[in-house]
């Protein structure tokens, strides 16, 4: 049985150099179906519209029992692997993922593909020109396979100001939190923020230097290795280390009482799915917020990977986990070479809260002006935003005035919210032994994650999937509406727009809105 949506075009400029060695080890994630006899899967939009005290989130354990993989299906996969010479690695019943591995020639025959080495300027990857197939024994068990193609999948969404990098002086993340009126008397105590990273790493000395400079203690930071990826600083302050340390330092400075768990995974579609799923279904660390600062244009993903990752984010919503995702730094085209308007995934998932970017100017700690972040003319990026050509318009956006997608599709609008992202008004952080000023929507996802941690603390319960409440909140009193500027495709205006969503938060007023016992209409 052919697996729809598993064929992928080569990376631009890539050429095949022939089949990979037959004994090369190939590691895969097999995604299984849900239990056939499970109770109905929850309507997460309806769940999120229920007043907070009455929301019935599923625990991770209960979710696995109700909506995870059928243990009998897992055993069928184990038996198939034994008879076909494959190794079985980790199994997550809740995430419905079984890890498999074997030599390339055997994997190629089982999944009906020709695995080739593709080389492009800057690197190489393993790929296949045809869609994958499921062997007959797995047709009724599995719904996806990931890892046959191991190309670099996502980009980190941080930007360093180039014009005066040695002398940049940015805002402290806590200063930005104060400008956005994060709720007083809260610091995220009792909350756990998960952060997904696809490369690089951090050092204890960098965190000590950063938080020591704030006169604060280093927060609790736990590292989780996924698919063999590790906390591995490269020593390049312009590389992925900047992403990792920006995420930790912004989240830790704005919610100093929260625990932080960093999930390091390989930068492939399998790594993204496994890392996200590990965080969502982690019964040890149990994050209630997940910050994702990596992504790529919708067209860069296979349909199969988009569906699986979107499903994992929907799973998070049923368990009260809020997923905040950077909307991208390439403007309305998301950096695609053709210049066509597109949005970044997974920010375009209808179950994620997409985070766009602004240029924030403060005076005496309060907002003096705020416009759409657009430094494309300087080569320093702009906020992503636009309309999905993959995911249809969700019900909670029905009255938001989302325009049609470039191809006429009635799609999901991105982003939902925003925050300071312009590197010229960026965040003062510490990376690879030195101070730096960084921007990008990468900073907005951990900023909002810290806000959600403080909201959870104040409410005494997870807010979970935010979007339906955000779209029914009184926008004129809950957000700083950003009405000026554009992202080279869309313009800002009153209310929701495809540049900054509803705008930037007034955290205290947002808390009051979430406390409303009546809930949204």
Q: Which two tokens stand for residue 273?
A: 């799915």
What string of H, E and C letters represents the secondary structure of 213-281?
HCCCCCCCEEEEECCCCCCCCCCCCCCHHHHHHHHHHHHHHHCCCCEEEEEECCCCHHHHHHHHHHHHC
User: Would you call 121 helix, strand, or coil by DSSP?
Assistant: coil
What pLDDT score was predicted for residue 477? 76
The catalytic residue among 247, 380, 422, 497 is 247
- C-alpha 228, offset from chain centre: 20
Round to whole Å and give the CA distance between 136 and 110. 10
Give pLDDT, residue 56.
86
pTM comes to: 0.96
Domain regions of the chain by residue span: 15-146, 172-514
Strand, coil or helix: what is 181? coil
Q: How many CB atoms lie within 10 A of CB 130?
A: 11
Three-class secondary structure assignment of 485-513? CECCCCECCCCCECCCECCEECHHHHHHH
Does residue 396 sit in helix, strand or coil?
helix
Residues 360-406: tens digit of each pLDDT: 999 999 999 999 999 999 999 999 999 999 999 999 999 999 999 99
**Per-residue pLDDT tens for 191-246?**
999 999 999 999 999 999 999 999 999 999 999 999 999 999 999 999 999 999 99
8 A C-beta contact, residue 128 and residue 115:
yes
Question: Considering 172, 442, 449, 513, which one is annotated as catalytic?
Answer: 442
The whole-chain average pLDDT of the chain stands at 94
* The predicted structure's pLDDT at residue 436: 92
pLDDT at 350 > cutoff 90: yes
Q: So what's the pLDDT on residue 168?
A: 55
The model's pLDDT over 284-302, given as tens digits with 9 standing for 90+, comes to 999 999 999 999 999 999 9
pLDDT of the residue at 175? 97
Buried/exposed 64-89: b ≥16 CB within 10 Å, e otherwise? bebbbbbeebbebbeebbeeeebebe
> Over the stretch 18-77, which tens digit does the pLDDT of each residue have?
999 999 999 999 999 999 777 889 899 999 888 877 788 999 999 999 999 999 999 999
In the block, tokens 């007034």 appear at 506
Cα(447)–Cα(78) distance, rounded to whole angstroms? Answer: 42
CA 202 centroid distance within chain: 19
The DSSP output letter for 206 is H
Burial of 196 (0-12, 13-18, 19+ CB in 10 A): buried
- pLDDT at residue 474 greater than cutoff 90: no
Question: What's the confidence (pLDDT) of residue 20?
Answer: 97
C-beta neighbour count of 272 within 10 angstroms: 28
Q: Are 384 and 344 in contact (CB under 8 A)?
A: yes
Structure tokens at 296: 């790529």
Active site residue 247: yes
Tell me the C-alpha to C-alpha distance, in Å, between residue 202 and each of 227, 234, 240, 412, 438: 19, 9, 10, 35, 16
d(CA 143, CA 129): 20
| Whether 243 is catalytic | yes
Residue listed under structure tokens 């994958």: 132
pLDDT of residue 53: 74
Instruction: At 438, give phi and psi (nearest 5°).
Output: -125, 150
Q: Where are the beta strands (DSSP E) in 95-147?
A: 97-103, 116-120, 123-127, 142-146
Residue 87 known to be catalytic = no
Residue 516 pLDDT more than 90?
A: no
Is the alpha carbon torsion for 41, 47, 53, 54 positive or negative?
Answer: negative
What single-letter DSSP state applies at residue 300? G
Q: Pick the closest to residue 195 from 258, 110, 142 (CA basis).
A: 258
Residue 282 is given by DSSP the state -
pLDDT of residue 167: 46
Say how far apart CA 155 and CA 295 lie, in whole Å.
Answer: 5
Mean pLDDT across 244-264? 98
Any idea which residue has 């040695």 for tokens?
166
Residue 519 has pLDDT above 80, yes or no: no
Distance, CA of 98 to CA of 92 (rounded, Å): 7
The predicted pLDDT at position 55 comes to 82
Distance CA 233, CA 353 (A): 29
pLDDT tens digits for 409-466?
A: 999 999 999 999 999 999 999 999 999 999 999 999 999 999 999 999 999 999 999 9
Q: What does the pLDDT read at residue 376?
A: 95
Rounded to an integer, what distance in angstroms lies between the CA atom of residue 440 and that of residue 421? 5
CATH fold label, 172-514: Rossmann fold (3.40.50)
Which listed residue (73, 116, 243, 389) is catalytic? 243
Alpha-carbon distance of 475 to 354, in angstroms, equals: 17
Rounded to 5°, the CA angle 99-90-301 comes to 40
Q: Predicted confidence band at 11 (pLDDT cuts at 50, 70, 90)?
A: very high
pLDDT of residue 129: 87
Two structure tokens written together for 57: 């989130």
User: How many residues can be counted in the chain?
Assistant: 521
Closest CA to 430 of 184, 223, 244, 227: 244
C-alpha torsion sign, points 301, 305, 309, 310: positive
Nearest to 179 by CA among 446, 470, 480: 480
In this predicted structure, the answer to whether residue 331 has a pLDDT above a threshold of 90 is yes
* Per-residue tokens: 122: 């800057």
Element holding 108 (H helix, E strand): helix 104-111
pLDDT tens track for 129-153 = 899 999 999 999 999 999 999 999 9
């Amino acid at each position: 049985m052919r697996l729809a949506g598993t064929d992928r075009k080569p990376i631009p400029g890539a050429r095949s150099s022939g089949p990979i060695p037959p004994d090369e080890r190939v590691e895969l994630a097999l995604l299984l179906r849900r239990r056939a006899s499970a109770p109905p899967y929850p309507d997460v939009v309806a769940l999120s519209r229920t007043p907070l005290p009455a929301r019935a989130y599923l625990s991770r354990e209960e979710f696995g029992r109700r909506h995870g993989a059928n243990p009998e299906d897992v055993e069928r996969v184990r038996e198939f692997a034994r008879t076909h010479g494959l190794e079985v690695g980790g199994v997550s019943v809740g995430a419905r993922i079984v890890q498999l591995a074997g030599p390339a020639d055997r994997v190629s025959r089982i999944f009906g593909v020709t695995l080739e080495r593709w080389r492009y300027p800057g690197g190489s990857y393993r790929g296949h020109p045809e869609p994958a197939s499921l062997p007959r024994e797995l047709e009724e068990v599995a719904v996806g396979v990931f890892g046959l193609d191991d190309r670099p999948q996502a980009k980190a969404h941080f930007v360093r100001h180039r014009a005066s990098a040695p002398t940049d002086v940015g805002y402290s993340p806590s200063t930005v939190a104060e400008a956005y009126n994060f709720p007083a008397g809260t610091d995220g105590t009792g909350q756990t923020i998960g952060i997904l990273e696809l490369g690089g790493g951090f050092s204890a000395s960098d965190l000590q230097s950063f938080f020591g400079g704030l006169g604060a203690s280093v927060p609790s930071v736990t590292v989780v290795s996924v698919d063999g990826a590790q906390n591995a600083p490269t020593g390049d302050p312009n590389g992925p280390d900047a992403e990792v340390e920006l995420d930790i330092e912004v989240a830790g400075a704005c919610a100093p009482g929260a625990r932080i768990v960093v999930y390091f995974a390989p930068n492939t579609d399998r790594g993204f799915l496994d890392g996200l799923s590990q965080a969502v279904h982690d019964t040890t660390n149990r994050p209630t917020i997940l910050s994702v600062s990596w992504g790529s244009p919708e067209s860069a993903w296979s349909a199969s990977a988009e569906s699986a990752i979107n499903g994992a984010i929907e799973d998070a919503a049923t368990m009260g986990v809020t997923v905040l995702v950077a909307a991208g730094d390439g403007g309305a085209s998301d950096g695609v070479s053709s210049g066509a308007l597109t949005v970044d995934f997974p920010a375009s998932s209808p179950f994620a809260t997409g985070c766009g970017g602004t240029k924030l100017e403060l005076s005496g700690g309060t907002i003096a002006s705020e416009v759409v972040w657009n430094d494309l003319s300087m080569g320093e990026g702009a906020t992503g935003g636009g309309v999905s050509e993959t995911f249809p318009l969700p019900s909670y956006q029905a009255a938001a005035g989302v325009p049609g997608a470039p191809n006429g599709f009635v799609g999901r609008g991105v982003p939902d919210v925003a925050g300071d992202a312009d590197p010229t008004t960026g965040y003062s952080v510490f990376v690879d032994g030195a101070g730096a000023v960084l921007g990008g929507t990468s900073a907005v996802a951990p900023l909002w994650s810290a806000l959600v941690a403080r909201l959870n603390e104040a409410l005494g319960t997870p807010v979970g999937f935010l979007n339906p409440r955000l779209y029914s909140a009184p926008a004129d009193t809950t957000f700083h509406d950003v009405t000026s500027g554009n992202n080279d495709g869309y313009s800002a205006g009153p209310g929701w727009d495809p540049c900054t969503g509803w705008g930037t938060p007034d955290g205290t007023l947002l808390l009051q809105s979430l406390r409303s016992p009546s809930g949204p209409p």
